[in-house]
Amino acid sequence: MPSGFHFVQRRYGGILRGGEVMRAPYGLEIIESCLSCPHREDRLFCNLPAAAVQALSAITSPAVYPKGASLFVEGQSPRGVFILCSGRVKLSTSSADGRTLILRMSEAGEVLGLPATVTGKPYELTAEVIEPTQANFIARDDFLRFLREHGEAALRVAQQLGETYHSAVAEMRTIGLSHSASEKLARFLLELSTSHDKGKSDIKVTLTLTHEEIAQTIGASRETVTRLFSDFKKRDLVQVKGSTIIIKNKAGLESLLAT
């Protein structure tokens, strides 16, 4: 059973009983069982036939993690996967000289640690919790047995691995093919706003990353990101209000992209 489960037991006085949902510290709704999850129909891996969900629930251990906790670390032998039920997790890699590159931010519904768990090779990334999170753990042997017995689940895993691959290619394109830091930041903001674009002139996006984390995402320095944000604001491309970024001129940001 993962250490995160014991953390929940000590810190919060136990998980749930009878598949109920309990309000925990940080405002999280802790879901003890996949069978009682209110989001099953919305999520790729959770939306499985009843028999598969029941089998999945039997091998899943609920766990809650505070901001700053690590689910797994780059280079660590794969213990298993984490189903991200709520919260957000930062996936990053580091160089020998200490530089960090953030690959992406994982959202609820994703299964983290899939490539390493399936192949048996060490985790290729570090998964760090950036806000209070429920990430339920499944040990590697149990997970592989589950995939062998439930073909539909194996297809879902293959689908998510494909999506992860496409995300990695998009990240490489942003960093490797962009000609300047301003183009990288413009591309980052445009991709961030994609799901918030409702056809309105101003697009509002909630940004929980610091300038340092944005810099680690686009392969630039924190000072460069701060300077570019100031420049974008002066040019009325964006407006910043706390953690909210308002994209005032989408066409202006698009004009910064290399053709």
What CATH number did the domain enclosing 125 receive?
A: 2.60.120.10
Identify whether residues 66 and 152 lie together within a single domain. Answer: yes
Identify whether residues 43 and 144 lie together within a single domain. Answer: yes
Which residue has tokens 């340092």? 212
**The domain spanning residue 222 has which CATH number?**
1.10.10.10
* Helices 151-177/140-149 angle, 10° precision: 120
Weakest-pLDDT range from 100-114, 127-141, 149-163, 185-199 = 185-199
Q: What's the pLDDT at 32?
A: 60
Q: What's the pLDDT at 5?
A: 39
Closest CA to 258 of 191, 202, 199, 174: 174
Weakest-pLDDT range from 25-34, 76-85, 98-107, 215-224 = 25-34
Identify whether residues 160 and 200 lie together within a single domain. Answer: no
- Domain assignment of residue 36, given as a range: 3-175
How does residue 6 score in pLDDT terms, banded at 50, 70 and 90? very low
Identify whether residues 83 and 207 lie together within a single domain. Answer: no
Weakest-pLDDT range from 36-40, 172-176, 217-221 = 36-40
Q: What's the pLDDT at 237?
A: 92
Query: How confident is the model over 34-84, as pLDDT tens digits?
Result: 555 555 455 566 678 888 888 988 999 988 899 999 999 999 999 999 999
Show which of 140, 159, 175 is a domain's final residue.
175
Identify whether residues 187 and 171 lie together within a single domain. Answer: no
Assigned domain for 259 exists: no
Instruction: Report strand pairing: 203-206 vs 238-241.
Output: unpaired
Question: DSSP of 128-139, one letter per residue?
Answer: EESS-EEEEEEE
Show which of 175, 201, 218 is a domain's final residue.
175
- Rounded to the nearest 5 degrees, what angle is found at the Cα of 213, between the Cα atoms of 207 and 218? 95
Identify whether residues 100 and 194 lie together within a single domain. Answer: no
Mean pLDDT, residues 184-203? 76
Identify whether residues 143 and 234 lie together within a single domain. Answer: no
CB-based contact 119:69 (threshold 8 Å) = no
The set of residues, in sequence order, having a beta carbon less than 8 Å from that of 153 and lying 6+ positions away, is 45, 48, 52, 56, 146, 147
The number of distinct structural domains making up the chain is 2
Query: How confident is the model over 128-160, as pLDDT tens digits?
Result: 998 889 999 999 999 999 999 999 889 888 888
Q: Which amino acid makes up residue 54?
A: Q
How does residue 1 score in pLDDT terms, banded at 50, 70 and 90? very low
Identify whether residues 151 and 219 lie together within a single domain. Answer: no
Q: What's the pLDDT at 224?
A: 93
Show which of 130, 150, 175 is a domain's final residue.
175
Tell me what percent of the residues of the chain surpass a pLDDT of 70: 76
Identify whether residues 195 and 162 lie together within a single domain. Answer: no
The set of residues, in sequence order, having a beta carbon less than 8 Å from that of 28 and lying 6+ positions away, is 64, 86, 87, 132, 133, 134
Q: What's the pLDDT at 242?
A: 83
50 vs 19, residue with greater confidence: 50
Assigned domain for 75 exists: yes
The set of residues, in sequence order, having a beta carbon less than 8 Å from that of 19 and lying 6+ positions away, is 32, 33, 35, 36
Identify whether residues 245 and 119 lie together within a single domain. Answer: no
Identify whether residues 33 and 130 lie together within a single domain. Answer: yes
Model confidence at 180: pLDDT above 70: yes
Weakest-pLDDT range from 22-36, 46-60, 99-113, 196-210 = 22-36
